[in-house]
Amino acid sequence: MKIGILPLVVKEVEESILEAVKNYVEGFYSKFGFRVDLLPPTTTNDLFFSYNPIRRQFLGRFFLTKVAEHRRDFSAVLGITDGDLYEEGMNFIFGLANPYLRAAIISLARLRPEFYTEKDGEVLKERAIKEAMHELGHVFGLGHCENPGCVMHFSNSIIDTDHKGKDYCEKCLNKLKRNLEGIG
Ligand SMILES: [Zn+2]
Ligand SMILES: [Zn+2]
């Protein structure tokens, strides 16, 4: 069983971030028999129709559809983009997932410390790992969790992301284990 990680590049998705996410996701999901493959970076030139020049953001659902096209023999595919994403009714989204497509996308745009005029460069890795684990949780059937320390807690802002941990709480973990049984 394999999970794919697909870089969807607007300007740059750093190798160091991809490696950090891959290693963390693999460290966790290998316990359930998954391997994690880093796919070659894909351009987003064919996604510019989803760009809103007034908002200067991309509509996230089209990125998700593009990720789903790369499912092939993967159990799940996670896209990582540097493009700033939004959905109708939301100012922005950190990520988006669809359990039926077994696909998810996360955006680094609002995880970057520069976005908040912070200086700590290392924090981007931590945040990317949290959002990746969160969206993969959705892919495998988890909903949002009321525990603010659980990675499945909904992040309204970067403060919530920084507050929560990188792992599933016991309740979410038990549900995840059940959901992962029988996934090929
Ligand atoms: Zn969520
Ligand atoms: Zn939880």
- CA dist 67 and 79 (Å) reads 6
Q: Could you count the other beta carbons within 10 Å of the beta carbon of residue 31?
A: 10
- CA dist 115 and 16 (Å) reads 19
Nearest ligand to the C-alpha of residue 133? 1
Angle formed by the axes of helices 123-139 and 15-29, nearest 10°: 50
Which residues keep their CB under 5 angstroms from ion ligand 2? Answer: 145, 147, 150, 152, 169, 172
How confident is the prediction for the chain on average, in pLDDT?
Answer: 96
**19 touches 83 (CB < 8 A):** no
**pLDDT at position 51 over 70:** yes
**pLDDT at position 61 over 70:** yes
Categorize the per-residue pLDDT at 32 as very low, low, confident or very high, splitting at 50, 70 and 90: very high
Across 71-77, average pLDDT: 96
Instruction: State in Å: Cα 148 to ligand 2 middle.
Output: 8
Domain annotation for the chain: domains and CATH numbers: 2-180 (3.40.390.10)
**pLDDT at position 182 over 80:** no
The one-character DSSP state at 149 is: T
Report CA dihedral (143, 146, 151, 154) to the nearest 10 degrees. 70
Nearest ligand to the C-alpha of residue 164? 2
Residue in this structure with the two tokens 């696909």, named with its chain if needed = 103
Active-site residue 131, yes or no? no
Tens digit of pLDDT for each residue in 151-164? Answer: 999 999 999 999 99
Instruction: State in Å: Cα 130 to ligand 2 middle.
Output: 13
Across 92-101, average pLDDT: 97
Instruction: State in Å: Cα 34 to ligand 2 middle.
Output: 21
In this prediction, residue 117 carries a pLDDT of 87
Instruction: State in Å: Cα 135 to ligand 2 middle.
Output: 13
Instruction: State in Å: Cα 162 to ligand 1 middle.
Output: 15
Instruction: State in Å: Cα 140 to ligand 2 middle.
Output: 13
**79 touches 4 (CB < 8 A):** no
60-69, 86-95, 112-121: which has the minimum mean pLDDT? 112-121
Across 12-39, average pLDDT: 97
Nearest ligand to the C-alpha of residue 95? 1
Categorize the per-residue pLDDT at 184 as very low, low, confident or very high, splitting at 50, 70 and 90: low
Across 98-109, average pLDDT: 97
Instruction: Kindly name the residue from 14, 69, 135, 146 that is annotated as catalytic.
Output: 135
